[in-house]
Amino acid sequence: MRPTHLILFALCLCSLNAQAAPNAPWGSAPVIAKEYSKQKVVYDVAVKDVAAVTSVLDRASHLSLLNGADPFDSKIVIVLHGNEIPFFAIKNFAKYKDLVTRAQSLSVGGIIEFRMCRLAAQGQGFKPEDIHGFISMVPMADAEIVDLQHQGFAYMR
């Protein structure tokens, strides 16, 4: 290493140590200012509880906002195919009203769309007429997710 490089390295090291607290030896995380747009995303959802579905809804909603909430440039598809299916059954509306109402409200702008695996729903005893109308039924979740990826959608779990 050249002497000038060594001096610069030592100065940087001293600068880092001057800013670091004893319990944060590397300082704080830097913030990267960045704008996102024109993203197409598919969320693969097979979860067990309301909290997990709520987390997906939070992430999808936030991603929509980061992308400018523009239905011409962005699209988010949430594919449901696990133990969360009963949450979206019409007969369970009273029990999961807050979750379902929020999900439906996210679908209004055309950016976030919900699709459900018909095969998984049938396996849990549900027919298309048993599921709320803002959710579209697809033949199979795995095939739908693969098809969306072929269309350029990024995969999220």
| pLDDT tens by residue, 25-84 | 999 999 999 888 789 999 999 999 999 999 999 999 999 998 887 777 789 999 999 999
Q: Is the pLDDT of residue 156 over 80?
A: yes
Which residue, 62, 116, 113, 57, is CA-closest to 85?
A: 116
Cross-strand pairs, 114: 78, 135
CA pair distance 117, 33, nearest whole angstrom: 38
Reported as a pLDDT band with limits 50, 70 and 90, residue 19 is low
**CA distance to 60, 81, 129, 150, per residue, from 140 (Å):** 22, 8, 17, 16
40-156 maps to which CATH number?
Answer: 3.40.1260.10
Write out the two tokens for 34: 């960045």
The pLDDT score that the predictor gives to residue 20 is 62
pTM of the predicted model as reported, rounded to 2 decimal places: 0.82
- Rounded to whole angstroms, the maximal C-alpha distance in the chain is 76
Q: What is the 3-state secondary structure (H, E, C) of 106-135?
A: HHCCCCEEEEEEHHHHHHCCCCHHHECCCE
| pLDDT tens by residue, 98-148 | 999 999 999 998 999 999 999 999 999 999 999 999 999 999 999 999 999
- Provide the residue type at 19 as one letter: Q
CA pair distance 40, 49, nearest whole angstrom: 26
Write out the two tokens for 11: 């100065």
